[in-house]
Structure 1
């Protein structure tokens, strides 16, 4: 296994990974994965963020992408890195791939010397699956909530953070 950047030309590998974890898409979008979902993940930015802030990182076994993270560095403020998505291959859940990828993210962000906080949002419709993982690696709910609407899902997303430290 190796950890390396995931770029737009890797969209077929990411699409395969996302298809392997179809339950996530059903929980947060309400339906099946779209044909261009990977390309959208690799190119979509939150309001106020620039393309130079977007970082995709993956765990690869040869040409097979088995875990992926999408991070916006310096968003929503300069000291924060927001994880927009962290996904593992559906057949490989519970094998430590998410933790391995998160550790690589932390190490890469520490090297930047600008980020002190890691942030993410958990959509209520995915909370029962996502919260245990994020709690295990030190994230805490802030109490902040934002409306969430995507596909047929209308819900709330809760903000979680943790300090940027190796655990």
Structure 2
């Protein structure tokens, strides 16, 4: 099996927006589980444009997950959020036809390398509790629950989870 790679998406390029939209529409079960509806026609633009409080576009990175030249998923990361030494994964999603093939742990390793490059101490995520499959994935990958809180615009509560990044000696 090939190894997935990441390609940084440009929120101003219509072709990148279309490719992300196809990924989101290829995972209707996710949208139904966490938002209670199918992805809208503007879902990709919403993902690319959404910013957490106090953050700007220089700290937001949305990558396309590419496998054998095909867009099979996406991963969204925010540098230094909500703390300067945290890399936040806002979304890790695969088209349903690409789920269950072991891509999640491989892409998580790529995200870990990005977070380490940013000199962050941990990866943090928020899983919506109406998505038990995702919650179980993150638990299996060593993420521990920090807290649960209301999640605006989502079908359930957010379960905030974190996993430490490996410490690398600075030479």
The TM-score with structure 1 as length reference comes to 0.89
1:27 correspondence with 2:10: no
- Which residue of 125, 133, 137 maps to 2:130? 125
1:64 correspondence with 2:70: yes
Partner of 1:156: 157
Q: Distance in 2 between matches of 1:112 and 1:150?
A: 30
Where in structure 2 are the equivalents of 1:35-114 lying within 5 Å? Answer: 35-61=41-67, 63-113=69-119
Compute the displacement of 1:130 (Å): 0.7
Compute the displacement of 1:64 (Å): 2.5
SS of aligned partner of 2:151: strand
Partner of 1:116: 121
Query: By percentage of residues, which structure has more helix?
Result: 1
Gaps of at least 5 residues in structure 2 are: none
1:137 correspondence with 2:138: no
Q: C-alpha root-mean-square deviation of aligned residues, in Å?
A: 1.6
Gaps of at least 5 residues in structure 1 are: none
User: Aligned residue pairs: how many?
Assistant: 161
- Which residue of 1, 4, 8 maps to 2:7? 4
Compute the displacement of 1:112 (Å): 2.2
Compute the displacement of 1:62 (Å): 5.4
Q: Distance in 1 between matches of 2:125 and 2:57?
A: 19
2:65–2:75 CA contact under 8 A, matched in 1:
no
Q: Distance in 1 between matches of 2:9 and 2:66?
A: 10
The TM-score with structure 2 as length reference comes to 0.87
Compute the displacement of 1:57 (Å): 2.0
Compute the displacement of 1:7 (Å): 2.2
Closer, same or farther: CA 57–50 of 1 in aligned 2, 3 Å: same
SS of aligned partner of 2:130: helix
